[in-house]
Structure 1
Amino acid sequence: MAFTKKQPSAKPIGAVRRAQMISTYGVGSMVAIGDQSFIVSGIDSWWVSDRFTIFEPRLQAWLRVSGFRLPPAYDPPVGKGVKVRQFPTIYSCSECHDLKEFRKFGSPSGKSVCGDCEKPLTPSRFVVACENGHLDDFPYFEWVHKKTAPVEESKGHHLSLHSTGRTASLRSIIIRCSCGKDASLEGAFGRRALDSLGIRCKGRRPWLGRGHEQPNCTSAPRTMQRGSSAAWFPVNRSSLSIPPWSTTLLKRVNTHFKTLDAVLATGNRDVAVAIIESNQITKGTAFTPDDVIKAVEQLQKLNANVAEADSHGSFEPASKLRHEEYRELLFGTVKVDREEDFECVKPADDPAAPLPFGIDRVMLVKRLREVRALEAFTRVLAPDALGEDGNPAAIAAEEMDWLPAIEVSGEGVFLTIDKGKLAEWEAYPAVKERVDRIRRNHTYEMRRRAQETNPKRAAELVSPVDARYVLLHTLAHALINEWSLESGYPAASLRERLYLSDEMAGALIYTATSDSAGSLGGVVAQGEYMRLRGSLESALDRISWCSQDPPCMESVADEFGSLNLAACYACVLLPETCCETNNTFLDRALLIGTPEDPRVGFFSRRD
């Protein structure tokens, strides 16, 4: 996927992988290209062909769009692709030390050099952002003058950037004005540093261009480094393709559904048949036009049902989408066509290796397809892993009927926990006491984040975390660590997908990539009963001791914001791409117990 400047017939200036456009360099994020810095523009400025539309009806209805589109390819025609705008606009010169907007340096077209001294220019290291997603240049002028004395309008004001070099701290960075005032950047990163000087958020959204500001923003602006991870957090949504959406016929109908739906709504069946034949929808198959029309009618009914899906702001592992996936994963498929996207079967029975203790069912997902979309993004605060999304920022200036997304294929293993043993374990007081610590901290964090924008809503928020969630989540992490040693996949390429509610207690561990590397069979093989018993025992044995013990096991999460108990990078924490909740809500003691009370561990009871 290529980046181009927001100019007619602009040439590509850089490129990233398509997958990064929804995870790392999506709309509103800053990207360094050469010696300049840019911000990725909204999707309403992208050039994306209809030929690269992705269909996933369940996710479409959930996000209320008509489809998804792949980000432009790496080498699109000149002037087409993803547009970027220069940001930050403030640059400095290392020779003359001038600090001003890039356009005022007089740099020759296509270059980033000072027009006076011909030395390379450097984009500002600092920007300001707020919790409502707004972004702006650091207010150097206001910082210098409001921190010292009122501005004297009679004097000229030309800023310059200097570094004393005495220390690596912000105290050594000095901003000087030609009027005689100067100030270091010490203290600029304080939570209320700008607000205390009367510097307010201007509601700017540079990724959407001028004229799209949101004035009267009440959120306090925060200083951050241009490359800070807190400057952009994606809000991603995903779903698996499951029957009947994944069947060969419905996949063929997807592309022409809108047209056929409109024609059939008029009752003109003959025109619909003509469209089917002219588009060769049934070519090379045993399907007839009547089969296609029945599939369209089925899609109409399914869309009506999906449209009633619950809000995606709720506890996602218990959402309607997850319930539908859980049902298909639990019972599997009988016979599938080679063009279908979902194949799930039960492992062969093995009298020598029954199911491990506490595991109720195992299914081998030999084929799966996942669609991952970028819905929005946040700044300063990451979206709450299991609760509210905070204040997501729009990725387009106008309402769009599509979102950027990628589709990936792979394989996995689905397993569920024995509900009888689970209920008995959940009732144990020591288990409740440990999970309550995490729940209290999460509830506090959810309310604190919502307090500034919606105090009434904040008081109603309660963490959805319970014992079975922490148990399944930690078990998935332990197995991913173990399977990365046995399946041939690195841990970073494995992912978890949790299914939790009063009726569900399951986890899907899978690998999904945009090429054939996601279906080599190494993960599926781990679901065979003999291998599963061995890998589960090995995983439990591996986490029974941590190099950070005893502090790791004795963690009490007594500080607000602590959302883990016995968990660290030496035992169960994983690369962030693996985890649905950014390595939070984990406690290995709920799997193996504590030295003082082994019964806290679900699997310690297998003896």
Structure 2
Amino acid sequence: MKQNDLYYTPVRFSHLLGYSGVGSIVRLANYRTAVICDTRFWESAGDSSRTISYVKRISSQLAEGRELKAPPVSKIDNGRVYGSTIPAVVFPKTCFCRKCGALHLDPWAKQNLDANVEKLSCQQSSCGGELQQVTWCAIGDNGYLSEVDWHSLCHPKPSSCRRTIEGDISYLKLQEVNGQESVVCTECLKAKKLPRARLGSVNQVQPWLSPIKHKPIHKSMDGKNEQYYVTEINNPATYSPLTTRGIVIPPESRRLEETSLVSQLRNRSAFLSDIEASNPKRRESRIRQEARNIGCSPHELNTAIQQVRDSEYEESAVWESEKDPQEEEFLAFITMIENLQEDEDFVPEHETGMFRELIDAAFPQYKHVSKLIENLVIVKRLREILIFKGFKRGGGDEPLIVPPDIEQKSSWLPATELFGEGIFFSINNDLLSEWERQASVKSYVDNLSRAYEASSIELPSLSGAGVTPRFVLLHTIAHLFIRELESSAGYPAASIRERIYCSQALNMAGVLIYTTSADVAGTLGGLMEQGRAKRFLANFVAMLKRAEWCSLDPVCSEASGQGIESLNMAACHACSLVPETSCDFLNILLDRKLISGSKEHDISSLEDFALKMALRESTP
């Protein structure tokens, strides 16, 4: 949509806190590409961000105590945009002619045109070809993103070329040389291949900031010069967002639904402070005046103000805990909560007793599955907070993490609320502890652990668990269960997420399979129904069978390494991998053989092991 010579592009909250976040290159509604400015510019554009309430635990544990705010919201009404928008700048500003290949540096400025115009023409004599943004940029492991210095790239050392860059680079052309896109100088005929071409320096820190006057050579922590190189704008190395998630649990989840008036007052701290500081007569006058402006009675406004004050007290009274955040969530899932109300933000329904009764009464052949599952919980409602913590660029060993406000001086982080439902189940810890103590299992998974340590992959979400038999088993179960739900319940796998609760020291072995949306009403309830005792049993047994077979067997089951840096064993797209949005661990560290068993590695199937344990307990 266009208004006042500006183009507006709608973006989902979940995307804005992911691959369309601060510092990312996005495609706009007018088909140009642009970069999202940092959060300091969000505020200067008119901050209508809403502070997210009842998240002190998550803020303290996952956001270093900083306030969490939802991105500003705007509305479109009768073709006009109202409210605050998030600024972005056109990038790259270098264009090339689709007809002759000549490069043009910021042709909008040269031709005195708006950067949003739909077509630009090549100004080379008798050409007139259409100009298009280049798809190349310069990045560094320090998080820098810059226009490519095309002249210096093609002429890295002083040469006999008589041309020097003076705002006109049309003597340089993009051409294919020996099958690779290259920049070619038409004056001296020098050429430079573009992919991964090295640069000595760059002229920008970020596209929305002022250019660097003196091109510095930055040094990294080990004293070496920072490396800058040319890459395509859609290369994964150009942008990698850093996000974290947390689920709101009691007591913060036990708030009642707020009226729209209470929600509105939460974001009006100046008015609330004025009311609190006023004498009784002035306070009464301000209440009457504000009630007329809002369209409610003075009594309703007074009641809403008191509710805000009460909730602030309740929020500040949240306990301070030294427990691991995931341990707290795990305990919340397995603990019976009394007097639950449907409008709370965390509504678990324990199905474990019904599950065991069902197996005892109707499916005794699955007694071992009853032994395997320790807790089964239907999560009728949950509230997840997605926090954007920054981004990084490049593929170095230790790329710099750039915060959302660039300077890391802001007291808040962008975040959003997601509402949904899910199925939680945990594996019997005693059984699992005995299973993972087997020498054959430990030796087998140690190979995968060493491969991960030797790789260039670093998974922050894995830091607490480590590559252990317990983790690989739980992770593979989660993926196979998602695939089973996709076929049995008709859910697209891309709409389902996993959350793994794994720690041998803390006796955690849980899996949450859930779906969320930004709508406060949450989702439709179809996923949680798959957690009912009978349906869960059918899905879980089918999942165990699914682990035994892959359409690419025997290639898949006999693989010694596949996937990213060979960090999967018996796991491929035909059996165990799920969409990237569903997995917190890059679709790696998976192996069906830990479930189906392997004679070659002396590993019994999980079913056989559970059956053996069940028989041992039943034998007098």
TM-score for both structures, normalised by structure 2 = 0.78
RMSD across aligned positions (CA): 4.1
Distance 1:52 1:325 in 2: 25
Question: Aligned pair in 2 of structure 1 residues 463, 541: CA closer, same or farther (>3 Å)?
Answer: closer
Q: 1:291-332: CA deviations, max 9, x gaps?
A: 876654443242x726xx6xxxxxxxxx82212211111114
Give the equivalent residue in structure 2 for 1:541.
545
Question: CA 1:472 to 1:338, structure 2 compared with 1: closer, same or farther past 3 Å?
Answer: same
**Residues in 1 aligned to 2:563 and 2:34: alpha-carbon distance in whole angstroms:** 38
User: Is residue 11 of structure 1 aligned with residue 6 of structure 2?
Assistant: yes
Q: Evaluate the alpha carbon distance shift between residue 164 and residue 462 of structure 1 in structure 2; reply closer, same or farther with a 3 A threshold.
A: same
Deviation string 1:205-256 (CA, Å, 9 cap, x unpaired) is 2244546998625332232112223311111111112111122259688965
Question: Which ranges of structure 2 fall in alignment gaps of 5 or more residues?
Answer: 220-224, 361-368, 612-620
- CA–CA distance in structure 1, aligned partners of residues 381 and 34 of structure 2: 39
- For 1:418, the aligned partner's letter is N
Equivalent-residue separation in structure 2 for 1:449 and 1:219 (angstroms): 21
- Larger mean Cα displacement after TM superposition, 372-381 or 101-110: 101-110
Query: Are 1:300 and 2:316 counterparts?
Result: yes
Larger Rg, first or second structure (1 or 2): 2
Looking at structure 1, the residues matched to 299 and 278 of structure 2 have their Cα atoms a distance apart, in angstroms, of 22
Question: Which residue pairs with 2:337 in the alignment?
Answer: 333
Structure 1 residue 283, shift from structure 2 partner: 7.9
Mapping for residues 1-80 of structure 1, pairs under 5 Å: 11-33=6-28, 34-46=30-42, 47=45, 49-50=47-48, 52-55=50-53, 56-61=55-60, 62-63=62-63, 64-73=65-74, 75=76, 77=81, 80=84
CA change 1:87–1:79 in 2 (3 A) is farther
* C-alpha distance 161-296 of structure 1, shift in aligned 2 (>3 A): same
> Judging changes above 3 Å, is the alpha-carbon distance between structure 1 residues 531 and 282 closer, same or farther for their aligned structure 2 residues?
farther
- Cα shift at 1:417: 0.9
Could you tell me which of 498, 507, 512 is aligned with 1:508?
512
Counterpart for residue 409 of structure 1 = 419
Q: Does the 8 Å contact 1:3/1:82 carry over to 2?
A: no
- 1:454 counterpart residue number: none
> How many angstroms apart in 1 are the aligned matches of 2:524 and 2:491?
9
Tell me the equivalent position of 2:389.
375
**Could you tell me how far 1:125 is from its partner in structure 2?**
2.0
Residues 513-564 of structure 1 deviation map (CA, whole Å, 9 limit, x = unaligned)? 1238853222212222222221111111112111222232222239993322
Q: Residues 25 and 233 of structure 2 are in contact (CA less than 8 Å); yes or no, is this contact kept in structure 1?
A: yes
The match for 1:470 among 447, 469, 472 is: 472
- 1:466-495 Cα offsets, whole Å, 9 max, x none, are 111111111111111111223342111111
Moved more, 154-163 or 504-513: 154-163
Pair 1:484 & 2:486 matched: yes
Q: Which amino acid aligns with 2:498?
A: E
Q: Which amino acid aligns with 2:519?
A: D
2:358 to 340, 352, 373: 352
Q: Counterpart of 2:527?
A: 523
State the 1:37 CA deviation: 2.2
Asked whether the 8 Å contact 2:204–2:211 carries over to 1, the reply is: no
Could you say if the C-alpha distance between residues 391 and 120 of structure 1 is closer, same or farther in structure 2, counting changes exceeding 3 Å? same
444, 449, 458: which one pairs with 2:454? 444
Deviation at 1:281, TM superposition (A): 13
1:86 aligned partner: 90
How far did residue 606 of structure 1 move? Answer: 3.1
The amino acid across from 2:320 in the alignment is N
- How has the CA–CA distance of structure 1 residues 160 and 36 changed in structure 2, closer, same or farther, with 3 Å as cutoff? farther
Q: Distance in 2 between matches of 1:476 and 1:407?
A: 24
CA distance in 2, matches of 1:226, 1:291: 49
Summarize the alignment of residues 162-173 of structure 1 with structure 2, pairs less than 5 Å apart. 162=173, 169-170=179-180, 173=182
Structure 1: which 5+ runs fail to align? 310-318, 451-460
- Residues 1:74 and 1:50: Cα distance change in structure 2 (over 3 Å): closer
For residues 74 and 344 of structure 1, the distance between their equivalents in structure 2, rounded to whole angstroms, comes to 35
Given the superposition, is the C-alpha separation of residues 462 and 471 from structure 1 closer, same or farther in structure 2, using an over 3 Å criterion?
Answer: closer
Distance 2:405 2:252 in 1: 28
Distance of 2:307 and 2:27 partners within structure 1? 52
Q: For this pair of structures, how many residues does the alignment match? A: 559
Are 2:249 and 1:242 aligned?
Answer: yes
Q: How far did 1:120 drift?
A: 2.3
Deviations 1:131-164 (A, max 9, x none): 2221122232122212xx5234854554445466
